[in-house]
Amino acid sequence: MTDESTFSLAEALAAQKALRDAAGAEEEVFELADVIGMVSDEVDMLKEQGRSLGDIAALVKQATGKPVTAEDVEKYYVPADERELWDDDEDEEDNR
C-alpha cells in the first residue's frame, strides 16, 4: 500500500512541471553548480560504494547529455555539514 502523503522524486517533479505549465512559467533551468549541489547526497552514496568522481561525472553526463567532469563534481560538491544548514534554513521557514 502506498502512503498517500509521500511522493517519489518523479511525482514531485511532475507536479512542479504541471503547476509551472499551468502558470505559463518558463522551464526552470539550473547551473551545473546547482545540479551537483542538489545531487551531493547521491555523490556521497556512490563514493561510499567506491565510485570515483570520474565515474560519478560520467553518470551525470550520461543522464543529462551535458558535459560534466570529475573536476566539476569535486568543485561543486556540497559537503554534508553544509547541506544540513540548508535543512535548518527550510525548518526555520516552515516555522514562520
Q: What is the pLDDT of residues 21-37, one digit of tens each?
A: 999 999 999 999 999 99
Q: Taking residues 54-76, what's their average pLDDT?
A: 98
The answer for residues whose C-beta is within 8 angstroms of residue 40's C-beta and 6 or more apart is 77, 78, 79, 80, 83
Q: Is the pLDDT of residue 96 over 70?
A: no
The domain ranges of the chain are 30-94
Q: What is the spatial distance between Cα 26 and Cα 38, in angstroms, rounded to a whole number?
A: 21
* Percentage, residues of the chain above pLDDT 70: 88
